[in-house]
């Protein structure tokens, strides 16, 4: 269906042209709302225009006061210089912004001239009040590996420290081991909220941090002097928007965030380079009449991550219904041999099922046909690849929020050993990866810009065939689980019940994905209806097949009866039957709203996350996706479990209660 299109685009796309953009963009220090990111955006605008593509800079006031849905537009920041020098017990520079932009905690404010002070180390990370019981930090510089906002609050705001030195680094076995990046700097930033007491800090390598800690542990007095010359001010948040016009008001959007410190080559200058090359290739083929003008407009947005997308969508809120699909390119250019990464497609969430998942997966499979086995057609990829369920963390999760409703898969290379470090440099970028992703993105965008009634049967067949594969995999995994476990009849019954519940859920999600085809092919009911019925029958047959295997496995162990057990009644959690209703659109940008709470409530929220071992959002993102004003928290929790494989009802009940305090949610009785 798209093979001819893919081949044309593959022949036109150049990984080296994309790499040239990555090189140029990575030379800019691209902190959100800063002169550096503006320069990068202007470069992209000029390059689009040089290709003959309509493009412009779209700017929004960045004043630390205005909100786009739940997202705060923070102030513009500019850092002119920063340095830090060890002066006792020896003398040497340990941080210089002119040398490496990650040597400063981003969004630091200026020091009062040159500061000189003793360096002290709190217990553990300095994230708990008790970590300061044995040291005096007033008038001193605190060395920490902890969350810099938390340490700033406890050490600087509450205890009078002058500033921070951060020496932390990621550890992600087996991709990244302890000590492997001891000479790198971790991208570290303040994210200020209105009313915050502002501060400053420097970043040193883990190796330097270990040297300082060793001196301090040996009871040596460690002193530093340094300076930060930076300011926060009312300025602008900038997006680059490029347009390949179509015949209608509908549109397909390709997103890549353009922000992060210099160099941040893979994250995400690579996404920018791939998007720009995808746009160039499409435009060139249209100009050469190899491709027709698209039916729908194709837009490319290069944005400060999250904030730029929030601003863009709020600015064009009336146009959102015309956005039929999107694709997010984030960290796509990795040299897999160097970074240890896997090129991954993340589907849309189950709360926004869509045919676009099947489309991009089909294109992705075509991209994998690079080499031939002996005597066969090309069917072997030279790169690592996978398709995974939805994961948040980038701009796609704003588009794919059901309250926004624009289905947006993401392409990403993960894990990347050098993610958010000063070692994310241009030598880690592969022209082959860039070309591959640019071709996939261009094919996806142009194909969906033209798709309609004629393509609906093919898309429907792609959706159902892929959903059948998921059903087979689910049944296989469940049978394996039962086969490996002790043959306890009660456990078998639990797996049997869970399989039935999960199949019913998956079929309904698949049916909604099928129905989504009507957004681009309104007359496709006759195609969709029978296929949904076919999928339901298929799921029933696979379930019955699994139950038969359960019985055969049990019989081999002398168990002839697998009765239906009544499920154990779980203790009711107060508030779980309440129905939450969102008072905001899009996903929740939590930080500024948490800051609005009292200190007591902020501490309680933090303690709640620690109690439930929630490192980031936990089940919250998917839970809020399912929050449509019709479901109880208990029902939402079950949907999250069916989607992700885990949930935490007690946490969600407490989480929603905090959102009520923030004025973001209303809870009502059924």
* CATH number of the domain bearing residue 608: 1.10.10
- Which among 202, 233, 264 is the end of a domain? 233
Count other Cβ atoms within 10 Å, centred on residue 505.
16
Higher per-residue pLDDT: 438 or 556 = 438
In this prediction, residue 188 carries a pLDDT of: 99
Q: Look up residue 475 and give its two tokens.
A: 């049944």
CA atoms lying within 13 Å on the CB side of residue 602:
13
* 569 within some domain: no
Q: What is the dihedral of CA 658, 157, 612, 481, to 10 degrees?
A: 120
* 567 within some domain: no
* CATH number of the domain bearing residue 176: 3.50.30.30
pLDDT band for 375, please (50, 70, 90 cuts).
Answer: low
* CATH number of the domain bearing residue 435: 3.40.630.10
Count other Cβ atoms within 10 Å, centred on residue 443.
29
Among 256, 277, 221, 248, CA closest to 89: 221
* 139-165 residue pLDDT tens: 999 999 999 999 999 999 999 999 999
* 254-276 residue pLDDT tens: 999 999 999 999 999 999 999 99
- Three-state DSSP class for residue 172: strand
Residues 522 and 385 in one domain: no
**Burial degree of 284 (CB within 10 A; 0-12, 13-18, 19+):** middle
Residues 88 and 200 in one domain: yes
* 22-76 residue pLDDT tens: 999 999 999 999 999 999 999 999 999 999 999 999 999 999 999 999 999 999 9
* 131 within some domain: yes
Give backbone dihedrals phi and psi of 571, rounded to 5 degrees, phi first: -60, 130
Residues 177 and 263 in one domain: no
* 574 within some domain: no
Cβ(43)–Cβ(20) under 8 Å?
no
Residues 290 and 417 in one domain: yes
* Pick from 129-138, 382-391, 569-578, 658-667: least confident: 569-578
Is 561's pLDDT higher than 90? no
Residues 434 and 583 in one domain: no
Q: Indicate the pairing of strand 371-372 with strand 378-380.
A: antiparallel
Q: Look up residue 49 and give its two tokens.
A: 């225009």
CA atoms lying within 13 Å on the CB side of residue 535:
30
Q: Domain containing 609: what range?
A: 579-668
Average confidence (pLDDT) over 72-93: 98
CA dist., res. 297 & res. 249, Å (int): 7
- Three-state DSSP class for residue 132: helix
Residues 547 and 630 in one domain: no
* 136 within some domain: yes
- Which among 426, 450, 474 is the end of a domain? 450
pLDDT band for 616, please (50, 70, 90 cuts).
Answer: confident
Residues 358 and 398 in one domain: yes
Q: Measure CA 571 to chain center.
A: 35
User: If residue 657 lies in a helix (H) or strand (E), which one and from where to where?
Assistant: helix 649-661
* Pick from 170-184, 235-249, 555-569, 601-615: least confident: 555-569
Residues 427 and 489 in one domain: no
Is the C-alpha dihedral spanning 549, 554, 560, 562 positive or negative?
Answer: negative
Residues above pLDDT 90, as percent of the chain? 92
CA dist., res. 32 & res. 35, Å (int): 9
* 397-424 residue pLDDT tens: 999 999 999 999 999 999 999 999 999 9
What angle, 0 to 180 degrees and rounded to 10, lies between the N-to-C axes of helices 15-26 and 270-287?
A: 140
* 528-551 residue pLDDT tens: 999 999 999 999 999 999 999 998
- Which among 402, 424, 450 is the end of a domain? 450
* 292-319 residue pLDDT tens: 999 999 999 999 999 999 999 999 999 9
In this prediction, residue 112 carries a pLDDT of: 97
CA dist., res. 168 & res. 391, Å (int): 25
* 564 within some domain: no
Mean pLDDT of the chain: 97
Residues 326 and 354 in one domain: yes
Is the C-alpha dihedral spanning 176, 179, 182, 186 positive or negative?
Answer: positive
* 496 within some domain: yes
- Three-state DSSP class for residue 538: helix
Residues above pLDDT 70, as percent of the chain? 100
Residues 491 and 509 in one domain: yes
Cβ partners under 8 Å of residue 403, min gap 6: 582, 585, 586
* 491 within some domain: yes
CA dist., res. 22 & res. 269, Å (int): 5
CA dist., res. 663 & res. 656, Å (int): 11
Average confidence (pLDDT) over 576-594: 98
Domain count, the chain: 4
Q: Look up residue 361 and give its two tokens.
A: 């997966």
Q: Does the reported pTM lie above 0.95?
A: yes
Q: What is the DSSP letter of 564?
A: P
Cβ(331)–Cβ(267) under 8 Å?
yes
Residues 605 and 518 in one domain: no
pLDDT band for 1, please (50, 70, 90 cuts).
Answer: confident
Residues 222 and 284 in one domain: no
Q: Indicate the pairing of strand 67-68 with strand 71-72.
A: antiparallel
């Amino acid at each position: 269906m798209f093979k001819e299109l893919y081949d044309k685009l593959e022949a036109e796309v150049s990984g080296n042209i994309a790499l040239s953009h990555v090189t140029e963009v990575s030379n800019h220090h691209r902190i959100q709302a800063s002169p550096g990111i503006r320069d990068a955006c202007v470069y992209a605008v000029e390059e689009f225009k040089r290709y003959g593509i309509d493009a412009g800079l779209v700017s929004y006031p960045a004043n630390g006061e205005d909100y786009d849905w739940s997202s705060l537009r923070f102030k513009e920041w500019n850092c002119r210089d920063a340095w830090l020098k060890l002066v006792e017990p020896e003398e040497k520079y340990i941080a210089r912004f002119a040398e490496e932009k990650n040597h400063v905690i981003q969004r630091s404010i200026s020091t009062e001239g040159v500061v000189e002070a003793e360096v002290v180390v709190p217990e553990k990370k300095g994230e708990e009040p008790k970590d300061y019981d044995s040291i005096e930090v007033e008038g001193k510089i605190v060395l920490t590996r902890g969350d810099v906002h938390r340490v700033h609050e406890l050490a600087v705001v509450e205890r009078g420290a002058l500033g921070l030195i951060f020496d932390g680094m990621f550890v992600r076995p087996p991709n990244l081991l302890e000590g492997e990046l001891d000479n790198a700097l971790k991208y570290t930033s303040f994210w200020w909220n209105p009313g915050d007491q502002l501060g400053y800090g420097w970043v040193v390598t883990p190796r330097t941090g270990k040297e300082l800690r060793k001196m301090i542990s040996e009871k040596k007095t460690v002193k530093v002097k340094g300076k930060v010359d930076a300011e926060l001010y009312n300025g602008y948040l900038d997006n680059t928007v490029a347009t390949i016009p179509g015949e209608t008001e509908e549109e397909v959007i390709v997103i890549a965030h353009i922000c992060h410190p210099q160099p941040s080559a893979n994250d995400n200058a690579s996404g920018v380079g791939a998007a720009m090359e995808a746009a160039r290739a499409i435009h060139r083929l249209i100009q050469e009449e190899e491709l027709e003008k698209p039916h729908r407009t194709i837009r490319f947005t290069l944005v400060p991550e999250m904030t730029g997308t929030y601003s863009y969508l709020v600015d064009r809120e009336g146009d959102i219904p015309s956005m039929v699909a999107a694709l997010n390119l984030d960290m796509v250019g990795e040299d897999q041999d160097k970074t240890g990464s896997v090129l991954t497609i993340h589907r849309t969430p189950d709360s926004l099922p869509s045919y676009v998942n099947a489309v991009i997966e089909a294109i992705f499979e075509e991209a994998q046909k690079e080499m031939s086995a002996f005597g066969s057609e090309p069917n072997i990829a030279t790169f690592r690849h996978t398709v995974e369920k939805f994961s948040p963390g980038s701009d796609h999760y704003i588009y794919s929020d059901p309250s926004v409703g624009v289905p947006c898969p993401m392409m990403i290379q993960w894990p990347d050993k050098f993610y958010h470090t000063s070692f994310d440099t241009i030598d880690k970028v592969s022209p082959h990866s860039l070309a591959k992703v640019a071709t996939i993105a261009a094919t996806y965008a142009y194909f969906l810009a033209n798709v309609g009634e004629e393509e609906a049967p093919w898309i429907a067949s792609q959706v159902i065939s892929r959903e059948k594969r998921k059903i087979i995999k689910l049944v296989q995994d469940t049978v394996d689980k039962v086969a490996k476990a002790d043959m306890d009849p009660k456990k078998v019954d639990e797996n049997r019940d869970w399989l039935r519940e999960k199949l019913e859920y998956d079929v309904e999600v698949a049916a909604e994905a099928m129905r989504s085809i009507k957004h681009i092919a309104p007359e496709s009911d006759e195609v969709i209806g029978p296929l949904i019925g076919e999928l339901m029958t298929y799921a029933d047959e696979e379930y019955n097949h699994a139950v038969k295997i359960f019985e055969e496995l049990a019989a081999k162990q002398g168990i002839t009866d697998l009765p239906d057990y009544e499920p154990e009644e779980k203790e009711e959690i107060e508030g779980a039957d309440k129905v939450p209703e969102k008072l905001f659109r899009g996903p929740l940008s939590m930080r500024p709203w948490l800051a609005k709470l009292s200190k007591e409530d902020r501490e309680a929220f933090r303690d709640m996350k620690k109690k439930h071992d929630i490192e980031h959002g936990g089940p919250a993102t998917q839970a809020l996706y399912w929050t449509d004003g019709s479901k109880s928290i208990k029902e939402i929790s079950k949907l999250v479990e069916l989607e992700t494989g885990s949930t935490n009802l007690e946490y969600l009940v407490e989480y929603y209660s905090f959102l009520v305090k923030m004025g973001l949610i209303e809870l009502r009785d059924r």
